Amino acid sequence: MNQPILKIVDLRVYYHVEAGAVKAVDGVDLDLQPGVKLGLVGESGSGKSTMALALMRMIKEPGKIEGGQMILDGTDLMTLNTEQMRHVRLSQLSMIPQGAMNSLHPLLRIEDQIIDGIRDHDRTLTKAELHERAGILLESVELTRRVGRMYPHELSGGMKQRACMAIAISMHPQLIIADEPTSALDVVIQRQVMETLDRLQVELDLSIILIGHDMGLMAQFVDRLAVMYAGRLMELGDTLALFEEPLHGYTQMLIESLPVLENKGVFTGIPGITPSLLDVPPGCVFHTRCPEATQECREIVPAFRELRPGHWVACHRHGVVEA
């Protein structure tokens, strides 16, 4: 097997609020191979966006990365200082934020926002070269060069999302984190934007982490899927395997609740509510909603282990736990 492009070891991110520590990410282990599209799904409040921000080292007060490693292409991001991290962003790792509409500067032309990032990494380029680079980038995300001279309010939602993609790929990163990039778009535009991202992934040999809660988008786009619940990973496996043979109780119920063409009119939800991250239940975090929970589940945290090649799960139901 190849060296993973990203290796996350025991990542913990807590938000320290008056009532205590909100454990948004609590001991996540994850490997990502180069050129793989990984989906990270979870309900709102499961910690998936916090994980993205942690990878970018952009967690703000009162949040704090409590521990763990995030090894990107051999370098632990936790060991970098602010200046080094600033260099990593965009050139090795970049992000397409949630709601592109709100992440572009309203008073700057699109072109200038693209150039801004490039110039931060490469001061040697001339004005004409920068202009040319921006033009090429816009074309690569299927926008016309003319868009470069426009302001964000002149663009549609899909175009703004594409502009953000142009910024994200401007320094040829190896890994892109896309946080619900199309959640505000109509299905037709969503599909077109995702198809562009798919093409870029192949052309630039990118690894992508797609964050979201839309299992439909995941089924269509990613190679591997990580299921997050209450700050921890429940399951990780190839998309098809995970859909067809989910191993964790949460994944099973999540997949049963999905509206597919064949089960019209069948509504199965997941009973109960997500636990508060301030007061996570002992043992398996899902035991409060799991119909098969046992005494063991209520007391012992299940290890996240590789049950089958490439298929990881944190659940006691599958054999004994090694101490």
How many CB atoms are located within 10 Å of the residue 56 CB? 18
Among 17, 58, 136, 187, binds other proteins (CB under 8 A): 187
HSE-CB for 316 with a 13 A CA cutoff: 18
| Least distance (Å) between residue 311 CB and other proteins | 15
**DSSP element (H, E) containing 197:** helix 187-204
Nearer to other proteins, 40 or 217 (CB): 217
Determine which residue in the list 156, 199, 245, 306 makes contact with other proteins, applying CB under 8 A: 156
Q: Is 49 a binder of other proteins (CB under 8 A)?
A: no
| 56 contacts other proteins (rule: CB under 8 A) | no
Strand partners, 235: 227, 313
163 binds other proteins (CB under 8 A): no
Half-sphere exposure of 32 (CA within 13 A, CB side): 31
Rounded CA gap, 43 and 269, in Å?
13
Query: Angle, nearest 10°, between helix axes 127-140 and 157-168?
Result: 120
User: Using the 8-state DSSP alphabet, how is residue 255 labeled?
Assistant: H
Report how far residue 28's alpha carbon sits from residue 213's, in angstroms, rounded to the nearest whole number.
18
Residue identified by tokens 């200082």 is: 81
Q: In the bound complex, what is the minimum distance in angstroms from residue 42's beta carbon to other proteins?
A: 9
Tell me how crowded residue 24 is: count the other CB atoms within 10 A of its CB: 23
Supply the minimum distance, in Å, between the C-beta of residue 260 and other proteins: 5
CB of 263 to other proteins, least distance (A): 8
Contacts to other proteins from residues 208-227, by CB under 8 A: 213-220
Which parts of 229-288 interact with other proteins (CB under 8 A)?
239-240, 243, 253-255, 257-261, 264-270, 273-274
- Distance in Å, CB of 274 to other proteins, minimum: 7
Q: Closest CB to other proteins among 64 and 213?
A: 213
- Binding residue (CB under 8 A) for other proteins from 2, 18, 19, 44: 44
d(C-alpha 47, C-alpha 233), whole Å? 10
Among residues 9, 21, 33, 43, which is the contact residue for other proteins, using CB under 8 A?
Answer: 43
Q: For residue 27, what are the contacts with CB-CB under 8 A and spacing of at least 6?
A: 10, 11, 12, 68, 232
Q: How many residues bind other proteins (CB under 8 A)?
A: 41
Q: Please choose, out of 19-27, 165-173, 183-191, 306-314, the segment that lies near other proteins by the rule CB under 8 A.
A: 183-191
Strands 207-212 and 37-41: parallel
Residues engaged in binding other proteins (CB under 8 A): 43-44, 142, 156, 158, 186-192, 195, 213-220, 239-240, 243, 253-255, 257-261, 264-270, 273-274
